[in-house]
Structure 1
Amino acid sequence: MSAEISPDLRFTRTLAAFDEANSHDPRQELDENGVAVAYEVLYARRMSQMLQRFCPQASEALQLAAHSQHIERWTLPRELYSFDRKGYLQWRSDLKLRHASRAGEIMLAQGYDSAMCERVAALLKKEKLKSDEESQALEDVICLVFLQFYFSEFSKAHDEAKLIDILQKTWRKMSEAGHQAALSLPLTDEEKTLVAKALA
């Protein structure tokens, strides 16, 4: 009988399997060192790194959820849905279900039991967001990653009123700990000004 895989090795292999799945993303982005990386591989890396800084005591389930937050996201493009609020909300809802399902498939293949898969799925689906501390922590990390790495590019496509509205909505999703972390991010002067206007 073969030896049972160690929990640490199972965790490491699962993160690698998430990355392998995301490596097929046709989009690429330059990382902080100027190296081209599959878009969702880089996003997963940023999520894990931000989680480590924001919540260094994060459970294994929360770490797995953070790394698989956008698992194979490109396979369900926004263009498949109507370009109104109803279409956007349906797309976001379907993404949560797809991410939860795909993460669970990969985790089962790496030896996790159904209970752990269900816990990660619950986090990815943002169940009990305000009452589940881990679900809220994941939401905080998502918002922090957006603000640090994606808000600048996002801001180029929208006017100030729209950006302030987005910042206010992002702020409402976050906990007080998330707010404090957001205020310490290395934002540009322009971004800091927008945040200040959003919070005024």
Structure 2
Amino acid sequence: MPDSQKLEKAFQLFDEANSKDPNTEVFKGKSYPKEVLYGLRMTETLNSFMPNASEALRLTARCQHICRWEIPRDRYEMNRAGYLKWRQELKKFHAEKASEILKTIGYETQIIEQVVFLLMKKQLKKSEETQTLEDVICLVFLKYYFEPFAEKHDEGKIIAILQKTWRKMSEKGHGAALKLPFSEKSQALIKKALEG
């Protein structure tokens, strides 16, 4: 199977796995399983942010949240330690799920290992690909999820989240984030967060 066909097959299987998500989100009048929509947004953002991304990075972007609903946040203590444990378990879970799918398509070990490396967020700030993935995750959050999130939380928490998100990003990521079409209210919050 040529590489382009393998990539399309992987995307199809990732989306099929995510289509079982019981959570839905309506976007532009159409209802999607939440994680299918997230995967599509990750692919679209990566294609725009880094059009020449490697195959491993393109695969990772699409399966970043694969079957995430199977490990709910409320299974862990609702504190920082519980949150961090949940995030670590998710990374391992996503890596295992993605590996299984990629093996069935016949991907070589080297690419599967790189996808696992990226899903585990190894060497953030040192690995260019891990950093690019993190930039794309942050850009997707800022473009699609930040404003609904901001409506539900107080200003102090929103500013802290923005500052934390900003710290994770590269200069290239910052440049792309500042071009996003934010509302006036969000622009004011971002300005406040960056000056703080």
Fold-level similarity (TM above 0.5): yes
> Runs of at least 4 residues of structure 1 off by over 3 A?
none
Q: d(CA) in 1 for partners of 2:68 and 2:81? A: 19
Q: d(CA) in 1 for partners of 2:161 and 2:30? A: 30
Post-superposition Cα deviations, 1:157-185, rounded to whole Å, max 9, x if no partner, equal 21001100000000000000000000000
The equivalent of 2:77 in structure 1 is 82
The equivalent of 1:172 in structure 2 is 167
Q: d(CA) in 2 for partners of 1:182 and 1:84? A: 29
Q: d(CA) in 2 for partners of 1:37 and 1:52? A: 21
Q: d(CA) in 2 for partners of 1:128 and 1:15? A: 25
Q: Which runs of 5+ in 2 are unaligned?
A: none
CA apart distance, 1:68 = 0.4
Aligned equivalent of 1:13, options 5, 9, 17: 9
TM-score normalised over the length of structure 2: 0.98
Q: d(CA) in 2 for partners of 1:46 and 1:56? A: 14
SS of residue paired to 1:156: helix
Aligned equivalent of 2:36, options 35, 41, 44: 41
* Range that drifts further, 15-24 or 113-122: 113-122
* Range that drifts further, 110-119 or 72-81: 110-119
| Aligned positions, number | 195
Report the AA paired with residue 27 of structure 1: N
Q: d(CA) in 1 for partners of 2:25 and 2:105? A: 28
CA apart distance, 1:80 = 0.3
Report the AA paired with residue 185 of structure 2: E
TM-score normalised over the length of structure 1: 0.96
Aligned equivalent of 1:27, options 23, 29, 43: 23
The equivalent of 1:73 in structure 2 is 68
Q: Which runs of 5+ in 1 are unaligned?
A: none
Post-superposition Cα deviations, 1:93-145, rounded to whole Å, max 9, x if no partner, equal 11111111111110111110222111000001100111100000000000000
